[in-house]
Amino acid sequence: MDKQQFWAVIEESRRALKPDEPEGNNELQIERLEKILSRFSPEEVIGFRDAFDERLAEAFRWDFWGVAYILGEGCSDDYFEYFRRWLVSMGRDVFDEAMRNPESIESAASRGDVEDIFFEDITHVADDVYRRKTGRDMPESAVPFPDEPKGQRWRTDDDLRAMFPALSQRH
């Protein structure tokens, strides 16, 4: 699945969201995404999962982890994965803007339709659809994943305040 098709699926999954009522929007997006993927062949479901994994690898960056840490008042490695899944679930415009300007994530996180910036439950949608279609577990992802996040590593709150002074002050 190419990037354009992938982002079209994500955008379609977001159409069910309530713009000013965040409660329940994560579940609405999951339900919509399940319906969309259910129309796909097993190979297309794998393609979607691989495209999602490619975006997760792109977002495996120290600056994104820093923003997640500041906005979430802490962020473990598991929560950083859930944060990146949320970032991808927000759609191409939010994702691309974050790639250019990580501090733009703050604006996306404060939108009226955002239930939580840690979106763990979206993790298994493609796997579940594939299992229902085939009766088997989805094959392992072929997407190479880096060992370390890209960019400048931060270690302390002081490092984050230096990287993101305005964001740190607001949070």
Q: Name which of 11-20, 48-57, 91-100 the model is least confident about.
A: 11-20
Q: What are φ and ψ of residue 19, in 5° steps? A: -65, -30
Average pLDDT, the chain: 96
Confidence bin at 142 (pLDDT 50/70/90): confident
User: Any bridge partners for residue 61, and if so which?
Assistant: 150
Is the CB of residue 131 less than 8 Å from the CB of residue 137?
Answer: yes
- In the three-class reduction of DSSP (H, G, I as helix; E, B as strand; rest coil), residue 61 is classed as strand
Task: Check residue 16 and give its pLDDT.
Answer: 83
For the cut 90, the answer to whether the pLDDT of residue 94 exceeds it is: yes
Domain ranges of the chain: 3-170
> Which helix (H) or strand (E) covers residue 93, if one does?
helix 92-100
Task: Check residue 167 and give its pLDDT.
Answer: 93
Task: Check residue 131 and give its pLDDT.
Answer: 98
